[in-house]
Amino acid sequence: NAGVMQNPRHLVRRRGQEARLRCSPMKGHSHVYWYRQLPEEGLKFMVYLQKENIIDESGMPKERFSAEFPKEGPSILRIQQVVRGDSAAYFCASSPTTDRSGNTIYFGEGSWLTVV
């Protein structure tokens, strides 16, 4: 049973280019989350998606960032016109369900974006 798969693991982009990060949830999981971790900091929630729906995007920057989870294929976090401040580790996580007491989610190994 494969875990949460993210690719690429490492990505280098020049300022102004686009970055696309992909995430395939664990088998049987229909909920996907994206978190960002800046150096020496904790993870910050960005967005929560179910198939074809964005449920909560309260942590997403208003501009340049978008996320999708299509009916077929992986979830994609897209960053347009990257800037140096976008350099961070982006973690995807998945869970099978949600409940009021909080759910255990499983993280992928992350995608490290470096903007030069």
Partner 1 sequence: GQQVMQIPQYQHVQEGEDFTTYCNSSTTLSNIQWYKQRPGGHPVFLIQLVKSGEVKKQKRLTFQFGEAKKNSSLHITATQTTDVGTYFCVKGGGNKLTFGTGTQLKVEL
98 binds partner 1 (CB under 8 A): yes
By three-state DSSP, how is residue 86 classified? helix
- Report the site for partner 1 in 15-44 (rule: CB under 8 A): 31, 33, 35, 41-44
Among 60, 108, 113, 115, binds partner 1 (CB under 8 A): 108
- Helix/strand/coil (H/E/C) assignment for every residue in 38-88: CCCCCEEEEEEEECCEEEECCCCCCCCEEEECCCCCCEEEEECCCCHHHCE
Among 11, 105, 113, 115, binds partner 1 (CB under 8 A): 105
Among 38, 55, 83, 116, binds partner 1 (CB under 8 A): 55
